Structure 1
Amino acid sequence: MKYLFFFSMLALSIGAHAFESYSGYIQNQGGLKILKKDNLKFTLTAESAEIKTQIDKLKTNDFISGIGIANTNQVLNVQSIDFIGLGQFVGLWLSPMGLFNVANFTDLQIYVPQKDMSLKNPKANMNYSITPGSGNSWVLFLSDEKQIYYSNLYMNERKAVIRFYSTETGAFLSEISMNKLNQ
């Protein structure tokens, strides 16, 4: 009986260590999504069709972080995606509201032109986080010192739309359309 307990605990211990956190940049190679971290490269797979769809939406130089199981053949089976950094979202975006400077995968500033058309001081410094969304959208959380904003991000190479929803009811609130500026 004590051997059964020992082997059961050993199996649980091995199983518990199979899941690992991962993060790195995406490369597209011949239809495969490769996760590059330091000098290692992992081919990404997923048993869940939903997670596979999210992985397929990623492009070269996008960033991904989550939980997965890596095997000895450098294949990472993705179990969950916690954070995504979209390379094409980084940069300057012009909207009717003002200029959005998406500085990196977590920070953005919103500049509203003044009478003299200067863009010296941002109207808002915000943190943001992108997670998987349904269809061709991404879930975008924006936060400032006052509150958290929930939205969906739809984008292509040159245009983006952010649709804001109430964090309490889920009701649609507003939409911002943006055009990417050449850099």
Structure 2
Amino acid sequence: MKSPVSENVSVTRLGLRAAMGAMAMFLVGCTAEPLPEIEIGLRNPTVPLGGTSRFEAGRFAGDWQTVRCLGECERSVTYQVATDGVFLRRAGDTLTAYSVPAPGILREMGGDSTLVVMWVDEGFRTAAVGDADGRWAAVLGRSRKTAPDRVKAATEILDFNGWDIAKMQVVK
């Protein structure tokens, strides 16, 4: 005569085997479909992105030349303080108004674009700027002949903020 304990063990083993078989079938079914491809683009969105605390709208205002670029960048851009809380960016024929809710963060007024000034040198001669959505980023200089050490520093900041600097192009 079997003891009740040995019957329970046999039932448990059968239940475990059935559960493992069902799990194996489930996993086979899951792997039959290819996983969707994830496109990182120009910036890894899992890396935190922040504006520089050094940002001052009045000092940042003026003409800038794009020295290095990721994505589609304008050759030159102009930033201008319009009124309290409104900052303008002219890129080509496009004039866009932004608010500045935090240092280095420019939010398009009436739109959904956000620009991030990630770094600017002490003299406001070189900057690392990018679109928060990861569509483009640029190293900007007050002239095309920006000092190599500042270009390198701005490039390193872009890299730190998740940009794929291997795709960076020199703008002439």
Confirm or deny a common fold (TM above 0.5). no
TM-score range, shorter chain: 0.3 to 0.5
Higher strand share: 1
TM-score, with structure 1 as normaliser: 0.33
Q: Max radius of gyration: which structure? A: 2
TM-score, with structure 2 as normaliser: 0.35
